[in-house]
Structure 1
Amino acid sequence: MPGPLVRRMMLIALLCVALAGGLAAWVISHASGEEMTERLVRQQTDEVELVARLLASKVEQSQKVLGTVAEGITPQMLQSPSLLEWVLKQGLPAVRFFDAMEIARADGRLILNLQSGKMEPAASVDMDERDILLRTMVQGKPLVSGVLGTAAASARVMFTLPLVADDGKVVGVVGGVLRLQSQGLLPHSLGLPARDDSRLIVFTSDGVILSHPQLERVMGNVRSEPGLDKAYAQWRSELKPISTGRGDTVVVQDRLISMAGVPMPQWWVARVTESHALLAPLHGTHRSIWWTAAACVTAVGLLAMLAMAWVAAPLTRLHRRAQSILLTQGLPDSQPPTSAESDLLSGALDHLEAQQLHHGHQAEFSRLQLQGILEQAPVGIVITRNDQLELLSQQASLMLGFSRAELEGQLVKRLFADEAQFETLERQMREGAITRGGYEGEFALRRKDGSLLWARVLGRMAFDRTSAMAAVWVLEDMATTHEERHSPQWSRSHDALTNLPNRTAFLERLKAQLVRNAELARAEQLSAGSGVALLFIDVDHFTLVNDRLGHEAGDMLLKQFSSLLEELVRHVGWAARLGGDEFAVVLPDCTAARAEMIAEHIRASVEEWEFVYEGEASITTVSIGIVVAPADLEEVTPWLRAADMACYYAKRAGRNRVVVREVADKASA
């Protein structure tokens, strides 16, 4: 008797042959000319209904785009045509949707005439378009014009919308014009593919042809279309209403004519097909049925073979995988590559089990090594996984007053003074992981004796293979700094929003840095080409953040940006806030090349950083000007002015870039 696997394959083959016979019988029994005709008629009706709905959606989309333009126009703009033109060109991309845009005030004066994005005189506006604008203003409701123009090249459709003030009074009207053959309305490709036996035609309720496979027929009349002329005359006599999505098919003079309407512009979509072409597939149907049945039997036979291969594929893959494992990891003598599947699989599993045990020993050894490093680390280090404390350094335990055994395995929130502090850290962790892979903040931690430990938390996050979130913290005792921040001297010398040195403290510290730089130069302790590098940093388009999201979002952006900036330059210099969105970074004993490299790192890091406010994310960039002070420079003003001008040239060159300049003397400044 065949084995279970072969028996399953034979059963599949038998079922496939039965399926092929049943499919052939079904095809023969249902192949009739009447059914095929009905199906083709239904297909043609569905086609014209689909095209009608497409045109209706295009018209509706055009109205919505015009509505978007109208929402951006205020009554005050109507009093300033130049301001209105600038706003439409710069702030409303929807204007480019239309080939022409016209706006008139309530007094009938046309104040804007944009033709293909260019301002044209009001007198050049067509009288038909003026009449439509006037009708819209009088009626106070949106309108869609009929076809304007007499030639295909100049034919167009106009959409209008009244501009209504808060009190409901009509203060103006806006109109958008689309060429008839534009992509937004009736492109040439709508009538494709063109066939001798079938034509797709779009025409108005007055019989004017708007789209035709033969372009020379556009703007002609349907009364000259064979077959369609009688259907059109019948529709006119019955006063048939136009409704979207409902098509109808009639037979006129051996032609099959399907029609569907587009209500808003009062258009018709028609497909005219020769009946003999439609029924041509019926010729030789029975002969093709037998060929189809044979093809089906062949296809089913191939399907059976593929099914057999599919059933055996898992066993084949396991066999090859076992061979690969044993060959690459060292083949045992008792199991050569020609062994049976069961022997190879057993050997491979034994080998994998031994590897797993070996890796477990290695992981435990690595853990002991890490623990030894943590015991000797001079800073507080905490490793967490999924909001649980996993490992702590000896220094972190001393800072918190707990033993490692008391904290390892506990929830992270146990270390925090209150729930709000922990939620803030958790939010910064996730936001920092998304934007720059880390986070930073100052938090009040609770020691074992109940006292508070103000610490700066620097963290980096990662995800392991099981998608568990892991984090490494570096704790820095900020108790002294925290006390200093509550002293009057701190508030006078530091910015209240960002905690960075303010402009006064910046200038004092900068003068002291210049004096020290001059002393080092006289003592020949400065490297060749080194000096004090000043980076003048300006946040690009900061006013747009205030205007779009509000001043609270702007303050939050400045706080997060200053924190990022301080983190980036902590080990190479110091930062200060000069005011508004202007910051400075001072790099002692630094060359121009190294300053430019550091500035480029700052620029790239800020560009990668993503500012998120109330779920809305935005990209921030900075312009940076660099000036390295020569050894004999004693005045701060020309140095600061040169850095400011370097930043100005960076913004003028397109923003989001770094510009290096030399300091100017007092005369040239």
Structure 2
Amino acid sequence: MAPDADLSRAAGLSEEGRLPPRARLGPLLRSLLLLLVAAVLLAGAGSAWYVQRGVAQEFVARAVDQQAEEVEVVARLLAARIEQQQKVLLALADSLPLKRLQDSAALAGELHQELPLADWFDSLSVALADGRVMAYMRAGKDRPLESLDGNERELLRRTLAGGKPMVGTVLQPEGEDLRLLFTAPLRTSAGAVVGVMAGGMRLSSQALLPPTAADGWSASRLMLVAPDGSIVAHSSPARWLGHVRDEAGLGLPFLRTLQAQLPVQSRSTSQAEDGYLYTLAGMPLPQWFVVRVARLEAPPLWGLSGEGSAALLGAAALALLAAAAMVVLAYPWMELTARAEQLLQRHAPGRMPRLGCMPSVAHAWGEVAVLWRALHALSRQRDTQARRAARFQAQTQTILEEAPVAIVVTRHDRVELLGMQAARLLGYAPDELQGYPIRQLCASDAEHARLMERIHWEMRAYGQFNGEVSLMHKNGHPVWLRMQGRRVASPLRRDAGAGVAMVWMVRDVTDQRKARAHPQWMAQHDALTQLPNRESFTLRLQQWLDERRKAPAEGGVLLFLDLDHFASVNDVAGHDAGDALLRHFARLLETLVPAPGVAARLGGDEFAVLLPESSLREGRAHASQLCEAVGAWEASYQGQRFWLGVSIGLVVLDAQSSIAAMLHAADMACYEAKRQGRGRVQVQERCEIAENGAGPG
């Protein structure tokens, strides 16, 4: 592509567009070409090794995922079977008449005739609290009490001592099969342990392990392992009741892994070592591990031999040719880069030179010429953007200084912008705090670290911060501030280091915190959320009724709020997470409820809002805003996320109604909002209050 005449002259080209002699390939470019060729050859050799390693790692990762899934399924199935047997024994123990425990014959008859659940076990035994065996049956027949195995007696004694159900294993003296024993304490209605019942069942390895698991000892083995390493069951009969130290691919390293998993839990763990992959998953109730061992044989990498090798060599040759061509064509690009660096070195950041001051690029043609013109345009654009940013910052500073509320903008843990109101709260002039580190406003490094951790936690949990913070006044005394902050990205700060700014609304709450220590304030406010409590809210409603009965006027709306899905937060994340969410919701209410409105916590996750001067339309707008604000939450706690909502019942207040009637009507409207799908506002008209509520209070 030939350059145009103007660009040719600017670049110092001849009329024919030929490059001057100085642009020919010199020793440096020839050396670069040789270096690139050597680099490509080395890269080709290294690529084969990296690809082979990647294939092996991918194979191991897939094998780990597949084997872990299989082992977890087997563990869950076996655990479910054992838990079912335990439940049956517990039901059998609950149905056993305790009055017959002292009568061995009556107890045996009860087990034979009146308890059909006994058919679930091939042996049953009952012992008193003093350890005496009162009944023992095996295979549906009574056995001498003294013939009860000593290991079974020991498990009965342990159950009596611990007072809780247990599961144990006993090896039959007459064979090599395992007996699985379940025990359940016998309790009186007052909870006292008066005896113990045990149920046993004979299990073979074929009954414990699924048939599909027995797919060969050397290739893949499935087994049940006790915490001490003894093998309870094995997919190979030859390894039945052996020990894991004799298993290929396991041995002592596996025993250390096994001990690290105690106490037994249901999660799975996988490890690849010495060409074997083993996975174990725990079964907490019987205290066993399900273990699968498989030999790892990574598939060969396609293309490293035969036709694949030829294709790889051909690709390397083409890459070398492409690299050589790129070196020849790269010289104008390198010159353009040099001119751009020269431009950046000559001028201060934020100010680009005029077009006439741009250094020319010799030999600019094709794409390089286009990029040169684009660089001119970008320099003008950057200059314009810098002027706009300066105007925007000046306008923002004017707004901050004239705003009736205190506003602060922070970035990178420093104060970037603030108004006069915010500076006065801390005793500074606005220019004194420009660029001031937030650490210097905290009492100590520890206080600063706790503040940053708290801000980051609430930003992750709720997407905003709303809380009270103690900062240091210029004269050295602490000042308590209510700070509401959100992240915001400036449209004029697009450089990589600009970061994300935080915009804060700040007000002084030092006096309010002092008032909270007064007993009267504590009696009228909820301790968790610091909102007015039910009694205080009832007094405010009564005050509204008295005022309206003396001087009737329009306006007055009551909102009854109930958080949706709040119980799931307590169930999944615990009450600490629930309390934190309630506190944040209370701060949201304080922010969104306009003066002279009052928000209160009635109890649990129920709140109320009085809008004493709002019409039905205004009240519905405020309620809808609350619904949208809560619905926009994506709260998180310790990595768990929750989606919440709020159902709101709205009633237009009537001065002729009682407080109980108004609260009841709002509660019923909230219930109707939940019934119709949650996360919505349900309005109850004034006439409906008169019909359903009580008379004047």
Question: Under a length normalisation based on structure 2, what TM-score does the superposition of the two structures give?
Answer: 0.54
Q: Which moved more, 1:534-543 or 1:571-580?
A: 534-543
Q: Which residue of 2 aligns with 1:243?
A: 247
Matched, 1:575 2:606: no
Cα distance in structure 2, aligned partners of 1:53 and 1:595: 55
Shift of 1:636: 1.7
Out of 415, 419, 438, the residue aligned to residue 393 of structure 1 is 419
Q: Which residue of 2 aligns with 1:646?
A: 669
Out of 636, 646, 649, the residue aligned to residue 626 of structure 1 is 649
Cα distance in structure 1, aligned partners of 2:307 and 2:581: 72
Q: Which residue of 1 aligns with 2:497?
A: 466
Q: Is the 8 A contact 2:441 2:471 kept in 1?
A: yes
Q: Give the alignment of 1:493-508 within 5 angstroms.
A: 493-508=524-539
Cα distance in structure 2, aligned partners of 1:367 and 1:342: 36
Q: Is the 8 A contact 1:161 1:175 kept in 2?
A: yes
How many residues are matched? 518
Write the letter of the residue equivalent to 1:102: Q
Matched, 1:456 2:482: yes
Matched, 1:563 2:587: yes
Question: Tell me, what secondary structure is at the counterpart of 1:460?
Answer: strand
Q: Which moved more, 1:453-462 or 1:311-320?
A: 311-320
Q: Is the 8 A contact 2:182 2:200 kept in 1?
A: yes
Q: Give the alignment of 1:136-155 within 5 angstroms.
A: none
Shift of 1:575: 0.6
Q: Is the 8 A contact 1:534 1:628 kept in 2?
A: yes
Shift of 1:19: 12
Q: Which residue of 1 aligns with 2:51?
A: none
Write the letter of the residue equivalent to 1:390: E
Shift of 1:349: 4.1
Shift in CA distance, 583/631, structure 1 to aligned 2, threshold 3 Å: closer
Q: Which residue of 2 aligns with 1:430?
A: 456
Shift in CA distance, 664/406, structure 1 to aligned 2, threshold 3 Å: closer
Question: Tell me, what secondary structure is at the counterpart of 2:425?
Answer: helix
- Report sequence identity in percent: 28
Shift in CA distance, 498/8, structure 1 to aligned 2, threshold 3 Å: closer
Write the letter of the residue equivalent to 1:639: M
Q: Any unmatched runs of 5+ in structure 2?
A: 1-23, 48-55, 96-115, 125-136, 140-147, 156-166, 172-176, 186-192, 224-235, 251-276, 281-288, 296-303, 339-353
Out of 573, 581, 586, the residue aligned to residue 610 of structure 2 is 586
Shift in CA distance, 656/186, structure 1 to aligned 2, threshold 3 Å: farther
Write the letter of the residue equivalent to 2:85: E
Q: Is the 8 A contact 2:67 2:292 kept in 1?
A: no
Shift of 1:142: 6.0
Cα distance in structure 1, aligned partners of 2:672 and 2:201: 42
Q: Is the 8 A contact 1:539 1:620 kept in 2?
A: no
Deviations 1:541-575 (Å, cap 9, x if unpaired)?
4597389745x665444333322332232468321
Q: Any unmatched runs of 5+ in structure 1?
A: 24-42, 70-94, 113-120, 146-156, 192-199, 206-231, 247-259, 271-287, 323-329
Q: Is the 8 A contact 1:627 1:639 kept in 2?
A: no
Q: Which residue of 1 aligns with 2:433?
A: 407
Question: Tell me, what secondary structure is at the counterpart of 1:494?
Answer: coil
Question: Tell me, what secondary structure is at the counterpart of 1:500?
Answer: coil
Deviations 1:148-206 (Å, cap 9, x if unpaired)?
xxxxxxxxx999685799x9x99767999999999x95679x99xxxxxxxx999999x
Q: Which residue of 2 aligns with 1:87?
A: none
Shift in CA distance, 480/306, structure 1 to aligned 2, threshold 3 Å: same
Cα distance in structure 2, aligned partners of 1:456 and 1:373: 21
Cα distance in structure 2, aligned partners of 1:510 and 1:483: 26
Q: Is the 8 A contact 2:74 2:290 kept in 1?
A: no
Question: Tell me, what secondary structure is at the counterpart of 1:537?
Answer: strand
Q: Which moved more, 1:313-322 or 1:507-516?
A: 313-322
Cα distance in structure 2, aligned partners of 1:204 and 1:610: 43
Cα distance in structure 1, aligned partners of 2:421 and 2:42: 77
Write the letter of the residue equivalent to 2:559: L
Out of 403, 415, 429, the residue aligned to residue 377 of structure 1 is 403
Shift in CA distance, 427/170, structure 1 to aligned 2, threshold 3 Å: farther
Deviations 1:422-477 (Å, cap 9, x if unpaired)?
55543342233223433223344443344554432222234674264532222223
Question: Tell me, what secondary structure is at the counterpart of 2:86?
Answer: strand
Question: Tell me, what secondary structure is at the counterpart of 1:103?
Answer: helix
Shift in CA distance, 502/16, structure 1 to aligned 2, threshold 3 Å: closer
Q: Is the 8 A contact 2:664 2:693 kept in 1?
A: no
Shift of 1:489: 4.1
Shift in CA distance, 234/645, structure 1 to aligned 2, threshold 3 Å: closer
Question: Tell me, what secondary structure is at the counterpart of 1:101?
Answer: helix
Cα distance in structure 1, aligned partners of 2:201 and 2:325: 66
Shift in CA distance, 2/401, structure 1 to aligned 2, threshold 3 Å: closer
Q: Is the 8 A contact 2:426 2:472 kept in 1?
A: yes
Matched, 1:537 2:562: yes
Q: Is the 8 A contact 1:459 1:474 kept in 2?
A: yes
Write the letter of the residue equivalent to 2:560: L
Question: Tell me, what secondary structure is at the counterpart of 1:624?
Answer: strand
Write the letter of the residue equivalent to 2:437: L
Cα distance in structure 2, aligned partners of 1:611 and 1:57: 31
Q: Give the alignment of 1:275-294 within 5 angstroms.
A: none
Q: Give the alignment of 1:269-418 within 5 angstroms.
A: 295=311, 298-305=314-321, 307=323, 339=365, 345-416=371-442
Q: Is the 8 A contact 1:575 1:586 kept in 2?
A: yes
Write the letter of the residue equivalent to 1:569: V
Q: Is the 8 A contact 1:425 1:441 kept in 2?
A: no
Deviations 1:575-610 (Å, cap 9, x if unpaired)?
112234322122345565664554454345345546
Cα distance in structure 2, aligned partners of 1:640 and 1:666: 14
Q: Give the alignment of 1:218-257 within 5 angstroms.
A: 243=247, 245=249
Q: Is the 8 A contact 1:625 1:658 kept in 2?
A: yes
Q: Is the 8 A contact 1:244 1:261 kept in 2?
A: no
Question: Tell me, what secondary structure is at the counterpart of 2:85?
Answer: strand
Matched, 1:605 2:629: yes
Write the letter of the residue equivalent to 2:382: Q
Question: Tell me, what secondary structure is at the counterpart of 2:651?
Answer: strand
Cα distance in structure 1, aligned partners of 2:311 and 2:666: 80
Q: Is the 8 A contact 1:503 1:576 kept in 2?
A: yes
Q: Which residue of 1 aligns with 2:11?
A: none
Shift of 1:235: 12
Cα distance in structure 2, aligned partners of 1:18 and 1:397: 62
Write the letter of the residue equivalent to 2:666: A
Shift of 1:506: 0.7
